[in-house]
Amino acid sequence: MFGALLLAITSVASVQGHFSHPTLLRQNGVDGGDTRLFCNSRGGFPAPSISWLVNHTQRPPEPLVTTYINVLPQSELYNITSVLTINISADTAVTCVLENNLLNKTLTATSIGVRSSTSVVRLSEHMWAFSAALCVVVFFLVAASLGFQKKWDRDRKRKQDRCGDDSSSEGTDMIVFDLEQWASLPETDV
């Protein structure tokens, strides 16, 4: 009866893997040269799309971006690295945007360059002055403690010379008794 009935079942399996939060490294150019930014994320599936934003809005031209995608052989998960080489000022913010449409997930990492400021220079000058003053204070404290130690050793040596050189009595005071006075003391019942 049911032998003639052919049932076709189609199954669609979807494999998904979340990428790690992207890491963003910045290598500033020398003397106004190009700055290189490296965005890296690992262990996701399927391969994501990656894009860049300069100052949170502008997309850099495509020729400035090189993207490398590696498939891990045992797990078939993806590692992705994108490199942006661009001539920007040191205080420009750059964002790496990693999108996985299947998971409807977007990950970002932002690098804000070093802002040059006169307050930073003044702060470093004050830190240098504070460090120098601290070194001088420490020098005087060490010199004073060495001076006190030397005086203490000299006084101790004089006291030992006065009382005789007996190493077993070190740290104790020597008491000298007059035996005649001792014998003349009255006896008491205790």
Q: How many domains does the chain have?
A: 2
For residue range 8-21, what is the model confidence (pLDDT) as tens digits? 334 344 556 788 88
CATH number at residue 91: 2.60.40.10
- CB-CB contact of 99 with 51 (8 Å): yes
Whether residue 73 lies inside any domain: the answer is yes
Q: Is residue 71 located within the same domain as residue 100?
A: yes
Q: Is residue 83 located within the same domain as residue 43?
A: yes
pLDDT at 139: 93
Q: How far apart are CA 109 and CA 122, in angstroms?
A: 31
Q: Helix or strand or coil: residue 51?
A: strand
Q: How far apart are CA 140 and CA 138, in angstroms?
A: 5
Identify the domain boundary among 112, 141, 176.
112
| 98-111 residues labelled b (16+ CB within 10 A) or e (exposed) | bebeeeeeebebeb
Q: Is residue 92 located within the same domain as residue 145?
A: no
pLDDT at 165: 55
Pairing of strands 93-100, 65-71: unpaired
Q: Is residue 27 located within the same domain as residue 107?
A: yes
Q: Is residue 47 located within the same domain as residue 123?
A: no
130's CB contacts (< 8 A; 6+ apart) are: none
Q: Is residue 136 located within the same domain as residue 88?
A: no
Q: Is residue 27 located within the same domain as residue 96?
A: yes
pLDDT at 107: 87
Whether residue 147 lies inside any domain: the answer is yes
Whether residue 37 lies inside any domain: the answer is yes
Whether residue 35 lies inside any domain: the answer is yes
Q: Is residue 51 located within the same domain as residue 104?
A: yes
| 50-84 residues labelled b (16+ CB within 10 A) or e (exposed) | bbbbbeeeeebeeeebeeeeeeeeeeebbbbbbbb
pLDDT at 117: 38
Q: Is residue 35 located within the same domain as residue 105?
A: yes
pLDDT at 187: 73
- CB-CB contact of 84 with 65 (8 Å): yes
Residues of the chain with confidence (pLDDT) below 50? 1-13, 115-121
What domain range is 155 assigned to? 118-159
Q: Is residue 105 located within the same domain as residue 128?
A: no
Indicate the pTM of the whole model: 0.51
